């Protein structure tokens, strides 16, 4: 992907949106892990915990980018991302994170919790980056202020404007479709047929959004 091209900026925008909708809960993890510490230590825990989490996530994302070069794994990753996009719309995340009074125990808790919760983020960013390590690094740099400073605000926006989640889910479904059509043994089918390519993209995005919406409506009617 050519640096500073339209495709580069579109991929970067996708990564930013993915970070916003998938990294929001990480701020809650940080807050829960550090809440029992003295005020003067909480900021240090947030910084060190976030640095550790970003390092682990960088390594994991680079590894996933490399793994996606293996034939067949782009298709598998795309299908997984479709499921993640659907679950984003329909599943409430739980935050069973134990608070601790130990500085390094809190840092360790943040790093481990982020690694477990960040699997969807790693796969989505790797898919959106299309093999560009520069985009991966930029995406991670963007996620730092999002996680540390902006996540609580983003969560409030999502609670107030639920349609933001649908935008994020649509971006994930779009990223999944690009991964699928770029799979080596499928690419020849789509390269000469843009209608088929865009039909698949529209069907995947529409299917995820409609299925998620229908399940949410059923859950609300059952609750009432």
DSSP string, 13-37: HHHHHHHHHHSHHHHHHHHHHHTTS
Q: What letter does residue 101 receive in the DSSP assignment?
A: S
Question: What per-residue confidence (pLDDT) applies to 207?
Answer: 94
pLDDT by 10s per residue, the chain, length 224: 566 677 788 887 887 777 766 665 566 666 666 666 777 777 777 777 777 777 887 788 888 888 878 888 888 888 888 888 888 788 665 545 555 557 777 777 767 766 666 677 777 877 887 777 788 778 777 766 666 665 556 556 766 777 878 887 888 888 889 889 888 888 888 888 889 999 999 999 999 999 998 988 888 788 76
**Residue 173 in contact with residue 82, Cβ under 8 Å?**
yes
Question: What per-residue confidence (pLDDT) applies to 152?
Answer: 55
Question: What per-residue confidence (pLDDT) applies to 49?
Answer: 76
Closest of 45, 36, 82, 96 to residue 178, by C-alpha = 82
d(CA 192, CA 56): 40
Question: What per-residue confidence (pLDDT) applies to 96?
Answer: 53
Question: What per-residue confidence (pLDDT) applies to 69?
Answer: 81
Question: What per-residue confidence (pLDDT) applies to 123?
Answer: 79
Query: At residue 92, what are phi and psi to the nearest 5 degrees?
Result: -85, 130
Instruction: Give helix 151-160 / helix 24-34 axis angle, nearest 10°.
Output: 120
Helix (H, G, I), strand (E, B) or coil at 96: coil
Question: What per-residue confidence (pLDDT) applies to 203?
Answer: 95
d(CA 46, CA 43): 5
d(CA 174, CA 205): 6
Question: What per-residue confidence (pLDDT) applies to 101?
Answer: 59
Question: What per-residue confidence (pLDDT) applies to 209?
Answer: 93
Question: What per-residue confidence (pLDDT) applies to 67?
Answer: 81
Question: What per-residue confidence (pLDDT) applies to 131?
Answer: 73
């Amino acid at each position: 992907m050519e640096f500073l091209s339209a495709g580069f900026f579109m991929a970067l925008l996708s990564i930013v949106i993915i970070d916003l909708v998938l990294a929001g809960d990480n701020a809650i993890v940080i807050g829960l892990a550090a809440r029992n510490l003295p005020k003067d230590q909480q900021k240090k825990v947030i910084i060190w915990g976030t640095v550790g989490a970003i390092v682990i996530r960088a390594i994991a994302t680079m590894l996933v980018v490399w793994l996606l070069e293996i034939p067949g794994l782009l298709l598998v990753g795309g299908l997984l991302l479709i499921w993640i996009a659907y679950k984003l719309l329909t599943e409430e995340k739980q935050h069973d994170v134990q608070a601790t009074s130990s500085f390094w125990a809190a840092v360790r808790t943040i790093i481990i919790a982020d690694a477990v919760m960040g699997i969807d983020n790693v796969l989505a960013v790797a898919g959106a980056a299309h093999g560009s390590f520069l985009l991966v690094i930029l995406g991670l740099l963007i996620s730092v202020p999002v996680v540390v400073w902006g996540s609580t605000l983003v969560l409030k926006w999502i609670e107030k404007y639920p349609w933001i989640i649908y935008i994020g889910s649509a971006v994930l479904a779009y990223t999944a479709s690009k991964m699928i059509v770029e799979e080596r043994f499928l690419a020849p089918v789509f390269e000469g047929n843009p209608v088929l390519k865009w039909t698949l993209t529209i069907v995947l995005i529409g299917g995820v959004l409609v299925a998620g919406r229908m399940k949410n409506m059923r859950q609300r009617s059952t609750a009432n």
